[in-house]
């Protein structure tokens, strides 16, 4: 049920309700399918930074990591599609989605694999321009948000649909900013969780954690990369849900608050 007119705050408000309904167990499916993709991304960036100027000479080794990451990317997209369907069902019915969340229509899934691959290619082609990063993040969100609407296999229709919802640029930009802040907060929480964990193990367990302190120190390259990946994994369920809700609300913008009132009128009659 659409409850309020489209705005970043109303989207976030309805997102929290939908996530509360769909999180168990569908957020776990999303996290589990995303983990290999994020770990391989971290491994790839770590290898690149390790090699530095010599990276161009290790094309085969880096290429195999990139290929493995791309396969893991496909798996993560399937997880995203299942989660997006669960969120859509939760938002539509107001109930906890059951196993029907797994039955993602083939056309919707295949179309999403296409749009997400296109966005990923655009991301890697433009990420060094900096502005390409937020732009592709926004389009990536719209790709998953519009996935439940794709009922037929095709190339042009899903792109048109993304373009149609991209007109909500103000709300999309606001949501991207909110989730950027959420990512930073998630990373700070992860750092704190690791620090508290080490402190407890050392203080109460009496174990020597000096080696772990060096590994889990903010500023250690691998730990920093894993922190970013962990932050993204923590925020991703909310980000996907927000995009699904945004597309639902934008599609039914005219039926927002007024339809709720009409519904009240109808019930009151």
Partner 1 sequence: MATATTRWCVHHPQRAAFALCMTCTRTICQECATQWDGIYHCAPCLAKQRTGVVARSPVGGWLALVIVTAILLFMTARLMLWSGALIAGLF
Handedness of CA 73, 76, 78, 84 (dihedral sign): negative
Q: Would you say 47 or 182 has its CB closer to partner 1?
A: 47
**Which CB atom, from 13 or from 50, has the smaller least distance to partner 1?**
50
- Which parts of 239-258 interact with partner 1 (CB under 8 A)? 251-256, 258
Phi, psi values for residue 106, rounded to 5°: -55, -40
Strand partners, 220: 218
CB of 149 to partner 1, least distance (A): 6
Q: Which stretch binds partner 1 (CB under 8 A): 123-131, 175-183, 199-207, 232-240?
A: 123-131
State which residue, 30 or 87, has the beta carbon closest to partner 1. Answer: 87
Q: Which of residues 136-175 bind partner 1 (CB under 8 A)?
A: 148-149, 151-155
What is the number of alpha carbons within 13 Å of residue 20 lying toward its C-beta?
A: 7
| Bridge partners (DSSP) listed for residue 218 | 220
Length of the chain: 269
The nearest distance, CB 132 to partner 1, in angstroms, is 10
Q: Strand, helix or coil at 220? A: strand
Among 17, 29, 35, 114, binds partner 1 (CB under 8 A): 114
Residue 53 CB, shortest distance to partner 1, in Å, is: 5
Give the Cα separation of 50 and 95 in Å (integer): 49
Compare residues 208 and 253 and give the one whose CB is closer to partner 1. Answer: 253
Stretch 6-45: interaction string toward partner 1, x if CB under 8 A:
--------------------------------------xx
157 close to 150: Cβ distance less than 8 angstroms: yes
Q: Which stretch binds partner 1 (CB under 8 A): 25-33, 114-122, 181-189, 199-207?
A: 114-122
Among 32, 102, 125, 185, binds partner 1 (CB under 8 A): 125
- Considering the rule CB under 8 A, would residue 52 count as an interface residue with partner 1? yes
Is residue 127 near partner 1 by the rule CB under 8 A?
Answer: yes
Min separation Cβ 189 and partner 1, Å: 28
Q: What is the DSSP string of 88-150?
A: HHHHHHSS---GGGG---HHHHHHHHHHHHHHHHHHHHHGGGSTHHHHHHHHHHHHHHHGGG-
Q: How many CA atoms, within 13 angstroms, populate the side-chain half-sphere of residue 56?
A: 1
66 binds partner 1 per the rule CB under 8 A: yes
Q: Which positions from 186 through 245 interact with partner 1, judged by CB under 8 A?
A: none
> Which helix (DSSP H) or strand (DSSP E) does residue 176 occupy?
helix 169-203
């Amino acid at each position: 049920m659409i409850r309020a007119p489209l705005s970043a705050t109303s989207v976030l408000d309805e997102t929290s309700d939908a996530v509360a309904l769909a999180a168990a167990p569908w957020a776990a499916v999303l996290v589990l399918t995303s983990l290999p993709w994020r770990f391989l991304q971290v491994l790839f960036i770590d290898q690149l930074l390790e090699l530095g100027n010599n990276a161009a000479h290790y094309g085969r080794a880096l290429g195999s990591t990139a290929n493995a990451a791309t396969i893991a990317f496909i798996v993560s997209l399937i997880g995203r599609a299942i989660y997006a369907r669960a969120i859509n069902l939760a938002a539509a019915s107001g109930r906890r989605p059951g196993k029907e969340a797994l039955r993602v229509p083939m056309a919707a899934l295949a179309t999403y694999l296409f749009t997400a691959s296109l966005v990923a290619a655009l991301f890697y082609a433009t990420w060094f321009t900096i502005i390409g990063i937020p732009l592709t993040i926004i389009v990536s969100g719209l790709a998953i948000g519009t996935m439940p609407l794709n009922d037929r296999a095709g190339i042009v229709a899903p792109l048109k649909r993304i373009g149609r919802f991209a007109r909500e640029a103000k709300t999309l930009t606001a949501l991207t900013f909110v989730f950027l802040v959420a990512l930073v907060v998630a990373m700070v929480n992860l750092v704190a969780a690791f620090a508290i964990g080490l402190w407890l193990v050392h203080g109460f367990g009496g174990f020597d954690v000096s080696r772990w302190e060096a590994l889990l120190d903010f500023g250690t390259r691998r730990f920093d990369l894993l922190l970013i990946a962990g932050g993204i994994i923590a925020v991703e369920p909310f980000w996907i849900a927000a995009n699904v809700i945004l597309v639902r609300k934008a599609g039914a913008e005219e039926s927002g608050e007024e339809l709720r009132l009409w519904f009240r009128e109808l019930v009151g009659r």
